[in-house]
Amino acid sequence: MRDVAVIGVGINKWGELWDKSLRDVFVEPALKAIDDAGVDHIDAMYVGCMSSGLFVAQEHLSSLLTDYLGMGPIPCCRVESACASGGLAFRQAYIDVASGANDIVLAGGVEKMTDVDGGGATYALATAADQEYEAFNGVTFPGLYALMATAHMHKYGTTREQLAHVAVKNHANGVLNPEAQFPMEVTVEQVLNSVLVADPLRLLDCSPITDGAAAVILCPLDMAKKIAKNGAAKIVASGHSTDTIAFHSRKDLTEIASTQRAAEKAYKMAGVGPNDIDFAEVHDCFTIAEICVTEALGFFEKGHGGKAAEAGETARDGKMPINPSGGLKSKGHPVGATGIAQIHEVVQQLRGNAGKRQLKNPKRGLAQNMGGSGGSSLVHILEAI
C-alpha cells in the first residue's frame, strides 16, 4: 500500500442555492480543488451523495457529474452511507490511490436539499433510520437525538446549558468561515429560548437543511511532494465501522459505538492516541452529537463532553479545538458533502491556510463523519507535511 496525500481542496458557499442545479453545485468546488492541486487531469472520482433521487429526482451521478465536470470517460462511483457518504467517498478514494489502481483521484460530496419542502426533506433524511421500527412509527432524527440527550443528562448530569455551549462555540467559529451557511453568533440564552423541536433539543441545537458541495484531490505521497501547487497533507489513518441502524437495539443510548470503533482502528493505524490530535472536525448534526462524539473519540471521559464544552476546552483556543470550521451547526449540513468538507477544513488548517479561524501551528488533525444516529462512522487522521 502506498502512502497517500491530499493536494487540492475546494468548497462553495453553502446555503439555499436556488439558482443552481445539483450538477452546478458540485462542479464549482470540484474545479476549485483541481486548480488548487495544480493538476490537469484526474484518473478516477468518488462522489458522496445520500439521496439525490429523493431531493432532486436525479440518480446516476457517476455519469452526470463526470460529464459536466468535463472528465468523462474516467471511472466514477457514487457512494452512499447516509450522512457519512462524504467520509466514505474519501475513504474509497484513499484506498484506490493507496492500492495503486489510480494516481490522481477526486473525492467529492454533494447534496441539494432545498428543492423539496420541509416534509419532503424530513422524509428523505428519515430513510437513514430504520424504516420499520423508527420512521414508520413517526420517529425523526431530532427525536432520536433527543432520546440520546435525555439519556446523557440522566446518566451523567449533562445540562441544557452545556448543550447550548456547543452551539455558541460553533457559531463563533462559523462567523470566521466565509463559506458557512449561518455565520452568526448566538448566545446561550438564544439557544435556550429558541423553538422547541424535540425536548430537550431546540432549533439552535439542530443543524440546518443545506445545499452545497466540497471536493479534494488525492495522490501518492511521493508524487504530492513533487507536484503539489499549494502544499499537501498526508493521510495517516482511515477507520470505518458500523452499528445497529435501530437506536433501540444499542446497549447504551449515550454511546456512539461505531465512532469509538472507527477511532480505535484509526489510532492504531496511525500509531497515535487521542492526546496526539491537535484539533478535530466532528459530526455535530445536533449539539448532543458533538458531546457524545468527543467522548467516543477519547478526547474526554464519558460523561464529561458537556462539561468540556461549557469550560471552553473545545474552543479554538482550548485544550482540544473542535469544529473550527463552524461544524455542521453553523457551516451547514448538505448531508452527502459534509464528510468531504471536514477533510477540506483539516487540510486547510494543516497547511496554515484557514484564514481568521486558523489554529496555532497544528500538526495533526482528525475528521469524524457519521450516518444517521451513528449507524456508520468514518474517522480519518491527517498530518502536516
Provide the grid cell at 188: 446561550
Residues 221, 199, single domain; the answer is no
3-state secondary structure at position 229: coil
Tell me what pLDDT residue 15 has: 98
Contact 311, 322 (CB under 8 A): no
Instruction: Please write the tens of the pLDDT for every residue from 158-170.
Output: 999 999 999 999 9
Residues contacting residue 73 through CB under 8 Å, at least 6 positions apart: 66
The pTM assigned to this predicted structure is 0.98
State the average pLDDT over residues 194-213: 98
State the average pLDDT over residues 172-182: 98
122 found inside a domain: no
State the average pLDDT over residues 35-41: 97
Contact 155, 308 (CB under 8 A): no
200 found inside a domain: yes
Among 176, 198, 233, identify where a domain stops.
233
Residues 48, 188, single domain; the answer is no
Contact 66, 73 (CB under 8 A): yes
State the average pLDDT over residues 228-245: 97
Q: Can you give the CATH number for the domain in which 257 is found?
A: 3.40.47.10
Tell me what pLDDT residue 342 has: 99
Q: Which residues does the annotation mark as catalytic?
A: 83, 333
Residues 289, 358, single domain; the answer is yes
Instruction: Please write the tens of the pLDDT for every residue from 109-158.
Output: 999 999 999 999 999 999 999 999 999 999 999 999 999 999 999 999 99
Instruction: Please write the tens of the pLDDT for every residue from 44-62.
Output: 999 999 999 999 999 999 9
Tell me what pLDDT residue 278 has: 98
Tell me what pLDDT residue 207 has: 98
Residues 168, 311, single domain; the answer is yes
34 found inside a domain: yes
Average pLDDT, the chain: 97
Residues 113, 214, single domain; the answer is yes
Provide the grid cell at 291: 458531546
Q: Which amino acid is at 82?
A: A
Total number of domains constituting the chain: 2
* Residues of the domain holding 370: 129-208+237-384
Residues 242, 346, single domain; the answer is yes
Contact 326, 284 (CB under 8 A): no
Question: Nearest-5° angle of CA 328, CA 330, CA 334?
Answer: 45
Residues 204, 216, single domain; the answer is no
Residues contacting residue 96 through CB under 8 Å, at least 6 positions apart: 44, 46, 102, 105
Residues 223, 288, single domain; the answer is no
Residue 271, by phi and psi: left (phi above 0), alpha (psi -120 to 50) or beta? left
Percent share of the chain, pLDDT over 90: 100
Residues 67, 183, single domain; the answer is no
| Nearest alpha-carbon partner for 33 in 94, 102, 104 | 104
Percent share of the chain, pLDDT over 70: 100
Other residues' Cβ atoms within 10 Å of the Cβ of residue 60:
10
Q: Binning pLDDT at 50, 70 and 90, where does residue 43 land? A: very high
Residues 337, 284, single domain; the answer is yes
Residues 189, 151, single domain; the answer is yes
State the average pLDDT over residues 184-204: 98
Tell me what pLDDT residue 350 has: 98
Tell me the C-alpha distance between 68 and 82, whole Å: 24
Instruction: Please write the tens of the pLDDT for every residue from 85-118.
Output: 999 999 999 999 999 999 999 999 999 999 999 9
Residues 242, 338, single domain; the answer is yes
Contact 325, 341 (CB under 8 A): yes
111 found inside a domain: yes
Instruction: Please write the tens of the pLDDT for every residue from 293-349.
Output: 999 999 999 999 999 999 999 999 999 999 999 999 999 999 999 999 999 999 999
123 found inside a domain: no
